[in-house]
Chains A and B, each alone.
Chain A
Amino acid sequence: MKAHALARPLRARRPAGEPGAAGSTAGRRWPLRWLLGMLGLALVLALWEGAVAVLRVPLYVLPAPSVIAAQVVRDWPLLARHARPTLIEAFGGFALGNGVAIVLAALFVHWPAVQRSVFPIAIALRTVPLVAITPLLLVWLGNGYAPKIAIAALISFFPTLVNMTRGFSAVDPQTLELLHTLSASRWQVFTKVRWPSSLPYLFAALKIAATSCVLGAVIAEWIGSDRGLGYLVIAATFELRVARLWATIAVTSGIALGAFLLVVAAERVCVPWRSETGPAS
């Protein structure tokens, strides 16, 4: 048995403070995966750059990556100024949407009646087109951060709700029976078993939410705002500043990617037993 073989080195290594045999092998594969990811990105950018040069694509159709990069550098103060509100809205929406989703999912698991009555409303909310609801939210919530945070929250909310409802129920039935024989309270079952075993589901949802909350904030700004990256997209389009438009898109993608990577990093810290274990035997 493979797991059995791992147990020996573990004992020998313990004094040296090694976390575990399987953990270190996962660590070695990490830089290689990064390298491959970077390689793919570099390849696409190189093809893009080459195609634009060879085919003489005009700037207003598609600027070369080098041109966009230069524009990002040139416009940096402007981009940074407009990135700030977008970041605030995206983060606010992320926290609000996921927070409400997690609390609701916890209620669903303990009171199925709540799930039956609230879930249809959640689905109905999901089916409302954002472009239609955003102007309404501007009317209801004013022109500040609130409507943008609401949109970002709305867009993060649903995947997390669905995932966490699954996650809180995805507990090994034998473990639940064990907790029952140990006379655990509902709260103890939740904190000691349901919450930790739902973390993989939570992070799967947070990865979706990390990118979509940025997009939600940008869409909300796009429809009605005088600042933020979404506003900058509109302004650059109207002024026919194609390079600036692309620079704004690049920064927006960069923020979404950064948020995604932060969630990935948090997962590695919070769910270490996942990366340590490898295939369960």
Chain B
Amino acid sequence: MATPSPGADEGVPSGGVRSPLAAGEEAPLAGHGCGEPAREATAGPPAVVFDSCGMAFDGPSGPVEALREVSLTVGAGEFVSLIGPSGCGKSTLLRLAAGLLAPARGTVAVLGQPPAAARRARRLSMVFQDPALLPWRTAQANVELPLELAGRPARERRRAAAAALDLVGLAGFEDARPAQLSGGMRQRVAIARALTLEPALLLMDEPFAAVDELTRERLNLELLRIWRRTGAAVLFVTHSIEEAVFLSDRVVVLTARPGSVAAVVPIDLPRPRTPEQRRSEAAFRLAARVRLALEEASG
């Protein structure tokens, strides 16, 4: 497998340490006053704004409240992780941002638009826990799918898909069918597929929950490298505290159902992040903070 040597893949930091956005709902948007050269994508409206969102589903015994008063802003180009007890509505939040669900109360804006409009404008992509590849298509054809649905010409599709596969380190596997690839490689194809539309927002729902620990760590590094290259904002749902800390600018801890924001932990580890940082003092301290918040939130 074409595994880039760890540590070398995140590229050169453009502006030194990326400063985390201030915690909470009043997070400053573009050009937050830290005086650091922000990445190009940091201009423009925030990637996602949840404004006092509430959500309920029909349960067997009346409606079940899934989310209560969730307010959260993901800045343009920011990497935010959602973590919380099972069933706290993390995936529901992602589906609200994708426009797959509409909030019962409050509003959601994606890139300054209603989520469904952003989805139709093909400004956002989603990656699921299951790669959801079409088994009859080759890796290349799977990656081309979003462009095909958007009606882009074949030449553009081929070029964009090849570039995306190359970006996730799967050049040379264009003609492989999903069944011929390992679990980690399949998930990388799914990520390449999400990247072909060059989205400004990437919604990831436990994308590495089904791969083994070492593969997950490698994919974490690749994801950071890709994130840096594309400039997309990422809203990342995970169950792993350690993964959330390693990847994110901020970790948002949600309470048990009904989900609401319990704590926002800014992650001030320097970027680009290296495998050594995963096991550093600072990372452990941050993980401990997230764990504490999570334990309180779980009640």
Contacts and interface: CB of A to CB of B under 8 A. Distances in A.
Interface stretch (B23-31, B64-72, B74-82, B128-136): B128-136
Contacts of A277: 135, 177, 179-180
B73 interface: no
Would you call the interface of chain B mostly helix, strand, loop, or mixed?
Answer: loop
Interface stretch (A5-13, A63-71, A224-232): A5-13
A100 interface: no
Interface in B158-206: 172-173, 175-177, 179-183, 185
B180 A183 contact: no
Size band of the B side of the interface?
20 to 34
A276 to B, nearest CB: 6
A179 interface: yes
Contacts of B181: 3, 7
Interface stretch (B46-54, B143-151, B239-247, B249-257): B143-151
B178 to A, nearest CB: 8
A15 to B, nearest CB: 10
Would you call the interface of chain A mostly helix, strand, loop, or mixed?
Answer: helix
A6 B136 contact: no
Contacts of B124: 181
Contacts of B176: 7, 10, 20
Nearest to B127: A178
Interface string B98-116: 1110000000000000000
Nearest to A181: B126
A272 B180 CA distance: 13
Interface string A267-281: 000011100111011
Given A174-B132, A192-B149, A276 B177 contact: yes
A20 B132 contact: no
A172 B176 CA distance: 21
B38 to A, nearest CB: 28
A1 interface: yes
A273 B119 CA distance: 31
B19 interface: no
Contact of A181 (B100, B136, B150): B100
Interface residues of A, number: 36
Interface in A223-281: 271-273, 276-278, 280-281
A196 B134 CA distance: 9
Contacts of A196: 134, 136
B196 to A, nearest CB: 10
Contacts of B180: 3, 6-7, 10, 20-22, 276-277
B248 interface: no
A251 to B, nearest CB: 37
B216 interface: no
B218 interface: no
Interface of B: 1, 98-100, 119-120, 122, 124-126, 128, 130, 132, 134-136, 145-146, 148-150, 172-173, 175-177, 179-183, 185
Which 5 A-B residue pairs are closest in the complex by CB-CB distance? A4-B182, A277-B179, A174-B132, A181-B126, A273-B136
Given A180-B100, A277-B180, 4 more contacts: A181-B119, A183-B122, A199-B136, A272-B136
8 contacts: A1-B182, A3-B181, A7-B181, A181-B124, A183-B119, A184-B149, A199-B136, A272-B136
